[in-house]
Structure 1
Amino acid sequence: MDSKHLVVAVDGPSGSGKSSVSRAAASALGIGYLDTGAMYRAVTWWCLEEGVDLDDRDAVAQATRDIPLQMGTDPTTPSVRVSGREIEDDIRTTRVSEVVSKVATNTLVRPLLQQLQRDLIDRIATETGGVVAEGRDITTVVAPDADVRVLLTASVEARLRRRSKELHGHDADHAVEATRDQIVRRDADDSTVSEFTQAAEGVHLVDTSDLDFEQSIEALLDVVRREAPAKALV
């Protein structure tokens, strides 16, 4: 990675706020953004659309090589396109969420997307002066040499409330329970191939359990300012 450009790697479990906080931080820093989780979702959506059996590991790996994927890099307008079609909303549906772990835990798929993510991080950083890349194993596997590495986390209860509000518009008990499987099961599945619950050496832990959105953004920016003062211009 080009040392002239700011690279911020953010990992975290589902519902920790890593996507929204990372987008806001990238916007504040005036640099690009990469949602690597959306890439796994895009492959999942593509396989469902193309009739690829998600249990056929080799077929899913081939689909990963074939997908005509375009990732938007503007943090203010997240975009995921396949063959020019915008699928940002499509990849967030329950249909995809319920099965995305089959792709995310496919050990034939992961190295393919990880290399694509490295290439994208380099390109985005070069084009925009930097990048905030977020996902599951960015701090340890994809970009272990990033200028700033952060594990953004929150308690299970906080994450369930946030995702319930996102999906259902409220965090009443029944909505929280309806969301629990997506959060808890997916974290359990993904943790078999990626470590995102404990901060690795050199990775800064930011717990947002008791922080609101603005405070969470500021907490991430504080780490960036401290770790890369010459590159962080906010």
Structure 2
Amino acid sequence: MSGLCQETVEHQAYLTRFLLDYAAVPLVGQTFLRGVLPTQDAVRIVAGADDAVAPNALTAYEIPLNDDEDEPVTAPLVLGWTRTLAAGAPPRPDTAVMGMDLVRVDTSAVGPAPPAPTDQALRVLRTLAWPSTATSPPVLCGFLLTGQDGMRLYMAVEEADGLVAADVRLTGALTALLAALPALLWEEERWTVDETDPHCVGVVDLTTW
């Protein structure tokens, strides 16, 4: 790591991990993530069509790693700013890098686009698939999108003779719900049976939680 700032490297790695999904899911319209380029004190988000590889078909948006108050920018903000820029009229490039137009983004002048339903679904799945707690939370074994605002999560719960599904909404107090989910799943009095779903032994309805 000689010559590199550990804090900067960790921040760029966090942004890259968060944005990986958007190489397959559109950022906005028909624009996809085509690359994340780390550079000193910034990250360059490369956007273009899903099959674009020619430099003249790509645009790199350079976004500072810290905001005006010198606080690290979050990945959802980086995603929101990129979406706003990609959805509008093509901004005038400041220069070029590797043959691509390079736009240096003034984040104080760009409003981030609001989260899409896909973002909320990915947030839930990332949190459950890669829990950051030292305890042993229920294990995510599958999921099904059930609507624009709903998802069924299939979780392995020790007390159950099979998987327990949780129906959740993708809007609302997601942070609180994800924190409470292990305890809610262990409350057997909440379990009901869905005869149409052979993939679980019980279902917990948390759509109104």
Q: TM-score range by the shorter chain?
A: under 0.3
More helix by share: 1
Give the structure-2-normalised TM-score: 0.26
More strand by share: 2
Higher relative contact order (CA 8 A, sep 6+): 1
Larger Rg: 2
Give the structure-1-normalised TM-score: 0.24
